[in-house]
Amino acid sequence: MTEAPAGAAPAAHDTPAILLRDAAFGYAGRTRVARLSLTVERGSAVALIGPNGSGKSTLLRGILGLADLTAGEVRVLGEAPVRARRRIGSLPQADQRDTSLPVTLRQVVGMGLYRELGAFRPIGREGRRRIDAVLDRVGLAPFAQRRFGELSGGQQQRGILARALVADPEMILLDEPFNGLDRENRETLLALLREVRAEGRTIIVSTHDLEIAREACTHALLLSSGHHPEDPGHPAAYGTLDDALTLEAVAHAFQDTTVELDRHTVTTTRETE
Ligand X SMILES: Nc1ncnc2c1ncn2[C@@H]1O[C@H](COP(=O)(O)OP(=O)(O)OP(=O)(O)O)[C@@H](O)[C@H]1O
Smallest distance from the beta carbon of 54 to ligand X, in angstroms?
4
For residues 27 and 195, which CB has a smaller minimum distance to ligand X in the complex?
A: 27
Q: How far apart are CA 259 and CA 252, in angstroms?
A: 11
For residues 50 and 78, which CB has a smaller minimum distance to ligand X in the complex?
A: 50
For residues 52 and 269, which CB has a smaller minimum distance to ligand X in the complex?
A: 52
For residues 11 and 174, which CB has a smaller minimum distance to ligand X in the complex?
A: 174
Smallest distance from the beta carbon of 50 to ligand X, in angstroms?
5
Beta carbons within 8 Å of 96's beta carbon, 6+ residues apart: none
**Cβ-based neighbour number of residue 9 at 10 Å:** 9
Q: How far apart are CA 171 and CA 193, in angstroms?
A: 12
Kindly list the residues in this chain that would bind ligand X in the complex (CB under 6 A). 27, 32, 50, 52-58
Smallest distance from the beta carbon of 139 to ligand X, in angstroms?
27
For residues 116 and 209, which CB has a smaller minimum distance to ligand X in the complex?
A: 209
Q: How far apart are CA 54 and CA 234, in angstroms?
A: 7
Smallest distance from the beta carbon of 66 to ligand X, in angstroms?
9
Smallest distance from the beta carbon of 125 to ligand X, in angstroms?
40
Smallest distance from the beta carbon of 194 to ligand X, in angstroms?
24
Residue of 87, 79, 88, 82 whose CA lies nearest to 67: 82
For residues 5 and 229, which CB has a smaller minimum distance to ligand X in the complex?
A: 229
Smallest distance from the beta carbon of 147 to ligand X, in angstroms?
28
For residues 46 and 134, which CB has a smaller minimum distance to ligand X in the complex?
A: 46
